Structure 1
Amino acid sequence: MESIVRTMRIIWRAELLIIEAKLNVATKRIGATAFAGLIFVFGLAMLNVAGFFALQEPWGPIYAALGVAAADFLIAILLVLWASRLTTGPELDLARDVRDAGLQELEAKAEDIQDEVEAVRDELLALKNSLVSFSRNPLDGTLNSLLTPLLTLLIKSLSKPKT
């Protein structure tokens, strides 16, 4: 029973490691996405103004504003793509392996316990059958119990050499 509890604790810890790894990645993704949004907002505010003034003379005011906005959108899209491709590290695979090994060990122990329970059940059925047969013919069981020691004593006394 103690090893089952230990195995269940290992499985629980592995599950916690898996959840922690997934939360770490989700936190990084959210942070990167928020940072991309912040860059997007500041890009629209600051770079747009600077780019607009830089491009206003050669392109004109309309195309200068469109060029700066397109560059901002491109940067934001690249950051969102990078954030979406973040994955968990090797610790998640290790935690999954530990969890799976623990589950396999727990299943094996459960099968052993089931075999033991079936053996106890078979012994109880045999005991029940012997009690039922004894209750039907109590004289048979009693005679067998009494005759065996009596016959043993008789054989021993007859086989002793006489002095």
Structure 2
Amino acid sequence: MNSENVVKHLRALWRTDRIIAEIRMRHMLVGLGMRAFAALIAAFGLLMLELSAYFALVQVWSAISAAAILGVVNFVIAAVLFVIGGRPPAGRELELATEIHGSSVEALQIEARALQSQFTGMVHHPLNSALPVVLVPLITMIIKSLKKSRAHASEAKAAAEPQ
């Protein structure tokens, strides 16, 4: 397990979460604005329908039909805006951010599994983790002492032969 990899994956995860949140927030704000505008137009449509009911009682059919037609048109416009505002976000940015988010989570899970296996191995077999740390310097010392003893033996042999 490499701590740099963990930090790199956590940064990627944090950035993609932030990007996803920004995209969803933008979409939600646009949708909310469209719905608010649709609600305003629906209120005007209701007002026109009420006005048309009033004209129906008071005047002739021509004013009534004009107000009723305007009210229906306002409701149709409000319905179209409401449907447009309620669409799910469809963008390559969101797909890319979601993909990177998934790969970051996957990489973090792999790093966590590696850490868990290292920890489990160290707990179950503590000599396996300590052995390389102790064994390499020990082997180095043994090799140096063997070289020194050979050098001393060859010096002693060379000193003994001329006599």
**TM-score over 0.5 for the alignment?**
yes
* Identity %, equivalent residues: 31
What is the alpha-carbon root mean square deviation over aligned residues? 3.6
What residue in structure 1 maps to residue 72 of structure 2? 70
TM-score by length of 2: 0.62
Where 1:60 maps in the other structure, the secondary structure is: helix
- Among 13, 16, 24, the alignment partner of 2:15 is 13
Number of matched pairs: 131
Q: 1:72 to 1:23 in 2, by over 3 A?
A: same
TM-score by length of 1: 0.62
Alignment check: 8 A CA contact 2:38 2:81 kept: yes
Alignment check: 8 A CA contact 2:20 2:98 kept: yes
Once superposed, which parts of structure 1, at least 4 consecutive aligned residues long, lie more than 3 Å away? 38-46, 59-64
How far apart are 1:3 and its partner, in Å?
1.5
What do the CA deviations read for 1:45-99 (whole angstroms, capped 9, x no partner)? 79x98xxx9xx87x43433332221122111111111211252411111111111
Task: State how far apart, in whole Å, the 2-side matches of 1:34 and 1:20 are.
Answer: 21
Point out the more displaced range, 91-100 or 117-126. 117-126
How far apart are 1:32 and its partner, in Å?
1.1
What residue in structure 2 maps to residue 102 of structure 1? 104
Q: Which amino acid aligns with 1:83?
A: G
Alignment check: 8 A CA contact 1:32 1:80 kept: yes
How far apart are 1:121 and its partner, in Å?
2.2
What residue in structure 2 maps to residue 83 of structure 1? 85
Unpaired runs of 5+ in structure 1?
128-155
